[in-house]
Chains A and B, each alone.
Chain A
């Protein structure tokens, strides 16, 4: 009968108590492990999306909101800036690439992003079918937005103001043609609908419904700055509208059945100065990370925000909530370890005669010490294993559910801190056994065997 065999026999001799110890340890471990997995997934997704963009430049307001709205597409845009401001960025020596982003509309809760195709390169997105957008009112769907809306190549849809799934006022006169669908990337790209920036401008400037602020333009102050948004129909300084030519070209394109409509609107519309929601900027030098945002904030009508920095701020805010949950989980584990300590101590008291007889039979003090520690190790390791299986099982189930209902790719792989968690709980399990193990090693054989 080996040390492990006897420890296992003792555990089986009190199955209910042992099962309770294991269950408590498992629940505590599972809670912490699941939290680790969730936080890591969340951070990885945020960081991966944020790392693709060095800097965002947009209307003045909240830098966090600017990043959330233009990089993660989870918040309303801050506002618009004159499209001509791109010249400042294009000509700057610290800027390698500028990608325009025109936002404001969505389709069944998925944001329509007016940008150029270089945006897709930031996330390594590739076409699953069809082709990329080229002419106005051509759209390409991300993998999730295509799957969720059920739209595919050749389908036609109209955009809606804002991002509400229930839908807002629609641009009925400006239907989009779906010309491509992207392969899944696991990034924010999957949940977007892409078109050209010019298309967004055309739709907004020419749609008769667009005589109001966008519902999702939260920064009213910005709109005060751009008061001409509301009465743009009365303005007559759009001769140099960058999109006019595109739109005229589009009007001449016989391949598009709705060209006549567009041309008609083009004739009717009085275009305002072109605006853009934001520019995504890639630095040409690391020095730009410090110097360029300050320069933009001080010398232009725009603000610059660094996604990496804003995400760290966001994670610190969210981290507090995670810390609270983690604290509860730690209390759960500590409670479980105390339960284990109590169980082992009580079991030791009940087995004092067994332990004394073992000494009589030739067991050394060290053997008895390890006998108790091994019993605790078996319970602790089983509890940890149960906890990890629970945590990763739940994570696996959640990933399936998220993919089934939202086509969000979530990994249930190991979180970085899990090995530390395992070692810590293991250490606590050994610690819980120490008082009993020390008492076992120092047992007074004559006294115990004479019934003292």
Chain B
């Protein structure tokens, strides 16, 4: 079930494997800031490997939903489980480690560490996820995303489109079980938006990762079969 401001369409086409916990499972989850709920009694189930698009106007709660899934926020009521784990039961350090090992997030703004070059940014992501530096996978990932030429370049010297592909590479290099993308194409031109959206879908597919992407960008809506529509009455 979804709340009055949300709808799920269409339902998943692939049936979950027997005994496998869903990637995401929200049950009557209400989330908000300072007592004002942004999402109310949201029910949502995402199986492993599924690709979902979360759409809605600004203020509808798209980013709030991702923050809930990443463990930055806790539901005021109801429950939210990620990979079968109720994140509210974890202490903050354990939640941080769980997020690092299982999830990756791509933002509208790239948020790359300016003091590090591209390779070092990817290396930092792997180390914080509890992995080794993985030089081979780092260079392979950069090559797959077409930014291997910038391996030693600092983020400040990249174009917005190049930086967004590097940010995507940083997310993929930890081989996350769940890939969250928060308006990743909003600041890109048509060509780059198309490229990034394609890469997100392809790489998530290749890794078998569950992909949840929020957007109000009409250019990428048609690429996702499964959609969660939030905040019909949301305000910007």
B202 contacts the other chain (CB 8 A): no
Within 8 A of B (CB), among A131-154: none
Contact in complex: B96, A362 (CB < 8 Å): yes
Contact with B along A350-388 (1 / 0, CB 8 A): 000110111111111111000000000000000000000
Contact in complex: B115, A1 (CB < 8 Å): no
Most buried by B among A12, A13, A356: A13
Within 8 A of A (CB), among B89-115: 92-93, 96-97, 99-101, 104-105, 107, 109, 111-115
| CA–CA, A242 and B130, complex, Å | 93
Partner of A446, one of B63, B115, B127, B170: B63
| CA–CA, A12 and B115, complex, Å | 8
A450 contacts the other chain (CB 8 A): yes
| CA–CA, A358 and B73, complex, Å | 17
| CA–CA, A1 and B92, complex, Å | 22
Contact in complex: A445, B124 (CB < 8 Å): no
Which residues in A have their C-beta under 8 angstroms from that of B92?
Answer: 364-365
Within 8 A of A (CB), among B14-58: none
Contact with A along B68-92 (1 / 0, CB 8 A): 0010110000000000000000001
* Known interface pairs A2-B127, A450-B63; A364-B113 also in contact (CB < 8 Å): no
* Known interface pairs A1-B116, A446-B63, A446-B72; A363-B123 also in contact (CB < 8 Å): no
B213 contacts the other chain (CB 8 A): no
Chain B: which residue is nearest A444 at the CB level?
B72
B67 contacts the other chain (CB 8 A): yes
Contact in complex: B115, A364 (CB < 8 Å): no
Partner of A361, one of B64, B67, B73, B128: B128
| CA–CA, A6 and B97, complex, Å | 19
Contact in complex: B100, A363 (CB < 8 Å): yes
* Known interface pairs A2-B127, A9-B120, A362-B101; A353-B96 also in contact (CB < 8 Å): no
Interface size class of B (residues with CB under 8 A): 20 to 34
* Known interface pairs A360-B70, A361-B129, A446-B67; A6-B96 also in contact (CB < 8 Å): no
A449 contacts the other chain (CB 8 A): yes
Chain A: which residue is nearest B102 at the CB level?
A362
| CA–CA, A366 and B91, complex, Å | 13
B125 contacts the other chain (CB 8 A): yes
Contact with A along B112-149 (1 / 0, CB 8 A): 11111000100111011110010000000000000000
Within 8 A of B (CB), among A4-18: 6, 9-10, 12-13
* Known interface pairs A360-B99, A361-B128; A449-B116 also in contact (CB < 8 Å): no
Judged by DSSP, the binding face of A is: helix
A286 contacts the other chain (CB 8 A): no
Chain A: which residue is nearest B112 at the CB level?
A357
Chain A: which residue is nearest B94 at the CB level?
A364
Within 8 A of B (CB), among A400-422: none
Which residues in A have their C-beta under 8 angstroms from that of B115?
Answer: 6, 9-10, 12-13, 354
Chain A: which residue is nearest B127 at the CB level?
A1
Which residues in A have their C-beta under 8 angstroms from that of B96?
Answer: 359, 362-365
| CA–CA, A361 and B128, complex, Å | 6
Contact in complex: A362, B99 (CB < 8 Å): yes
Partner of A354, one of B70, B100, B114, B130: B114
Partner of B111, one of A1, A2, A13, A357: A357
Chain A: which residue is nearest B122 at the CB level?
A1
| CA–CA, A318 and B39, complex, Å | 74
| CA–CA, A15 and B104, complex, Å | 32
| CA–CA, A195 and B114, complex, Å | 77
| CA–CA, A359 and B125, complex, Å | 10
Question: What is the CB-to-nearest-CB distance from A357 to chain B, in angstroms, rounded to a whole number?
Answer: 4
Which residues in B have their C-beta under 8 angstroms from that of A361?
Answer: 100, 104, 124-125, 128-129, 170, 174
Contact in complex: A362, B130 (CB < 8 Å): yes
| CA–CA, A357 and B128, complex, Å | 11
Chain A: which residue is nearest B119 at the CB level?
A1
| CA–CA, A450 and B128, complex, Å | 22
Contact in complex: B63, A1 (CB < 8 Å): no
Chain B: which residue is nearest A350 at the CB level?
B114
Contact in complex: A1, B120 (CB < 8 Å): yes
Question: What is the CB-to-nearest-CB distance from B219 to chain A, in angstroms, rounded to a whole number?
Answer: 22
| CA–CA, A364 and B98, complex, Å | 11
Partner of B107, one of A9, A364, A449: A449
Most buried by B among A354, A360, A366: A360
Question: What is the CB-to-nearest-CB distance from A406 to chain B, in angstroms, rounded to a whole number?
Answer: 51
Contact in complex: A449, B128 (CB < 8 Å): no
Partner of A445, one of B72, B116, B123: B72
| CA–CA, A340 and B113, complex, Å | 22
* Known interface pairs A361-B124, A365-B92, A450-B63; A356-B111 also in contact (CB < 8 Å): yes
Contact in complex: B111, A449 (CB < 8 Å): yes
Contact in complex: B116, A9 (CB < 8 Å): yes
Within 8 A of B (CB), among A309-361: 353-354, 356-361
Question: What is the CB-to-nearest-CB distance from B67 to chain A, in angstroms, rounded to a whole number?
Answer: 5
Contact in complex: B109, A364 (CB < 8 Å): no
Question: What is the CB-to-nearest-CB distance from A32 to chain B, in angstroms, rounded to a whole number?
Answer: 32
| CA–CA, A367 and B127, complex, Å | 12
Contact in complex: B116, A6 (CB < 8 Å): yes
Contact in complex: A362, B128 (CB < 8 Å): yes
Known A361-B104, A446-B72; further 10 A-B contacts with Cβ < 8 A: A9-B116, A353-B109, A353-B111, A358-B124, A360-B105, A361-B125, A361-B174, A365-B92, A367-B128, A446-B64
- Shortest 9 CB-CB contacts between residues of A and residues of B: A362-B100, A13-B115, A1-B124, A361-B128, A362-B128, A364-B93, A357-B111, A9-B115, A364-B96
> Which residues of A come within 8 Å of B, CB atoms?
1-2, 6, 9-10, 12-13, 353-354, 356-367, 445-446, 449-451
Instruction: Offer 5 A-B interface pairs, CB within 8 angstroms, sorted by A.
Output: A6-B116, A360-B70, A363-B96, A364-B96, A446-B63
> Which residues of B come within 8 Å of A, CB atoms?
63-64, 67, 70, 72-73, 92-93, 96-97, 99-101, 104-105, 107, 109, 111-116, 120, 123-125, 127-130, 133, 170, 174
